[in-house]
Amino acid sequence: MKKQKSFFKASRKEHGGVLAVGKRRAKRPLATKNSIHITMRSDLAKGQRSLMKHKNLIRKVVLKASKRFEIKVYRYAICGNHLHFLIKGSYKSDIQNFFRVVAGHIAQGVLKLYPLTQL
């Protein structure tokens, strides 16, 4: 009597690093036709450095950077230690540069007013 063949291949018993050896890693895909949600967080945004206390600075930085990199900002929310963005951009590099500039300029503006004390 013949044994029926399985439709499924036998699964491997290992996982993680062993399976990744010798395989290429691909870039994370980005759908530029859809809007994306991104969260930016800071461990230093406490007390006087809380992002809630710097809404005008954040608004100016986001507006200037969105024009510079042609990013459509549908919405953004300022929380105590993090920001939420709903954005759309045409190119991955423009989106990356937008967030790089936004994070840097917000940090520079807040730390200029309330610098970190040295230990």
d(C-alpha 16, C-alpha 35), whole Å: 32
Contact, 91 vs 43, CB < 8 A? no
- The reported pLDDT for the residue numbered 58 is 96
- The reported pLDDT for the residue numbered 119 is 41
- The reported pLDDT for the residue numbered 12 is 56
Look up the pTM and report it. Answer: 0.74
Strand stretches in the chain, DSSP E: 36-41, 72-78, 82-88
Contact, 109 vs 49, CB < 8 A? no
- The reported pLDDT for the residue numbered 32 is 80
| Secondary-structure breakdown of the chain: helix, strand, coil percentages, each rounded to the nearest 5 | 40, 15, 45
- The reported pLDDT for the residue numbered 114 is 92
* pLDDT beneath 50, residues of the chain: 119
- The reported pLDDT for the residue numbered 16 is 57
- The reported pLDDT for the residue numbered 116 is 87
